[in-house]
Amino acid sequence: MGEVYRARDNRLGRDLAIKILSHKLSASKKDFERFEREARSASALNHPNIVTIFELGQVDSTYYIAMELVEGELLRDMLAAGSIPLQQAIPIAAQIADGLAKAHEAGVVHRDLKPENLMVSRDGFVKILDFGLAKLAGPDTKQPLDAGTVDTSSTLPGTVMGTVEYMSPEQANALPLDFRSDQFSFGLVLYEMVTGKRTFRRHSNAETLAAILRDDPEPVASLNSQAPAPLCWIIERCLAKNPKDRYSSTRDLTRELASLRDRLSEAPSRHSLTRT
């Protein structure tokens, strides 16, 4: 949606990131509305795991978003070498879920959660980025979004697979969405962190969408024997095809991950968390 630059606020003495909507995109009402939506959605959220928006502005014909500068590594780059150790993956996942829970409680559904939109700082702190597809729903309720607002342009031939790979079944079908769609996307991200495998990736967008709608994922335990049963259950529940079978509140998901994280940090050895 735009180019991002590192900048310096001389008045406040801080570095920040400036996201600029290109002139080509600014001529499109749809692209500008998405750009503006990102700023407004994220700025309404105050949470340590969500990037902070400082300002939405315009200089001549150029629109920009001034935001918190997050230095670190995209989760996508971290996954380039394969799965992430559980001692690192679970705390990362707990932070992502906590940020999502805050957004959902405020009535914001991200709709484009994927490793490319997750930044991990050098000290392991996570920031959720890019609310460009975000949409307001009822606060952490099942009030649906308008199905017509779902951006399905990524299913066209030749477009990036990333967004398609992290769609929920209802999003793939352009059905009404609520916060549980983000839970499915989160489950796909967590599955990839733990197994090093993209859950439903196929040779084409159409095949990927079909897999999301019909196929069951390969069991986590068969790909990572060290994955504890509670973690496998969390992923399985997030990846339920029917939204009703997922978490009734993302805060409940956060609590389960936080409990698992705490148990992992207290465990004298991996055996106290292995499957039984």
Q: How far is residue 142's CA from residue 137's CA, in Å, rounded to a whole number? A: 8
User: What are the backbone angles phi and psi of residue 77, rounded to the nearest 5°?
Assistant: -70, -35
Residues with catalytic roles: 112
Q: Judge whether 44 and 57 are in contact, CB under 8 Å.
A: no
DSSP strands (E only) in 60-194: 62-68, 72-74, 108-109, 118-121, 126-128, 135-136
Single out the residue of 112, 114, 129, 42 nearest to residue 76, CA to CA.
114
119-144 core/surface letters (b: 16 or more CB in 10 A; e: else) = bbeeeeebbbbbbbbbbebeebeeeb
